[in-house]
Chain A
Amino acid sequence: MEKDTVTFAVMLSVIDFFLSMVLISGIGVILWLLPFLNRLGKLDEESMRRGH
């Protein structure tokens, strides 16, 4: 398909906007899952700060 046209620009925009939504939703899902890591345990921030 010829890229340097207005039609391609519109198609590019629609696909890009849609995929951006999908991918950022994926990041949202990752963020939603992050609290489950807290089940692994807690980090002692004081000892971490003293660690260097």
Chain B
Amino acid sequence: MGKKVQCELCPTECVLEDFQVGGCRVRINKGGVLYSLVYGKPCSVAIDPIEKKPFFHFLPATTAFSIATAGCVLGCKFCQNWQISQAKPEETDYYNLPPDDVVRQAMFYGCRTITYTYTEPTVFYEYMYDTAQIARKFNVKNTMHSCGYIKEKPLRELSKYLDAADIDLKAFTEDFYSRICGGRLRPVLDALLVLKDEGVWLEITNLVISTLNDKMDEIKEMCKWIVKNLGPNVPLHFSRFFPHYKLNNLPPTPFETLRDARNVAMDAGLKYVYIGNIRSDAENTCCPKCKNILIERIGYFVKQNNISEGRCRFCSTKIAGIWS
């Protein structure tokens, strides 16, 4: 007694005995003090197009210095990076890359942005926070791709240094989050509201999985919530599912389902809705007023960009996003 600690980073709120590790696998109670096991130890380091995150309304055609450590706050059965997200730090091959070196390398390789991604950045909060602080000083942008399963206080603190966030809204039912992800929906919605409130540029990704979260009624409800609470300018990415991890038995999402979801989202009032993980016209950004193609993409490659000073080059409509 007396050496128990409670982690207050994510809504799971693990209570840990001495030398016990949290559900995220990367935070340990040692003698009544909670430590991070992954500070400065990324297991994935890469330079990606910003479109891969995906960010379609944030510095298009630039590169992002992307890092991740082992661990995750959820246990999604469809995880595409489960080899690292569901691993303990000691089970991965990691680098020794302290925050200042992350920023130094990002600048050396000409990356405008550092992205905390691949696994769940909440689990390496301290590493991300320190790196983001240094990056801000050197005018390097900070973005994260997160599941949004984080408590309000740490998220507000992080938002001071965060320029953009792509949040995985995995479904719009508590049942899905409980059965498939091992979490809850409500905290994710709360996180989205906090990010909106803090003025962080927001994009949302929804992985559409056949039979699990592809009901158009649910998608409609989700889109209505987004429009009502976050506004119609939030880009929404419907992403194609491929069999992975524990959901190997399900087929890849048919294109027709993704197309229908996009139509539902646009009918609900969202202006920028994309389809990802499959090549189509729905990768392009179109002007919501004159309908001309503003950014033409082929996968992660930007073929043409007709946005000038944040406006449509054809009709001067303001296009939501961070463009320079």
A associates with B: no
Which residues does A use to contact B, with CB under 8 Å? none
Which residues does B use to contact A, with CB under 8 Å? none
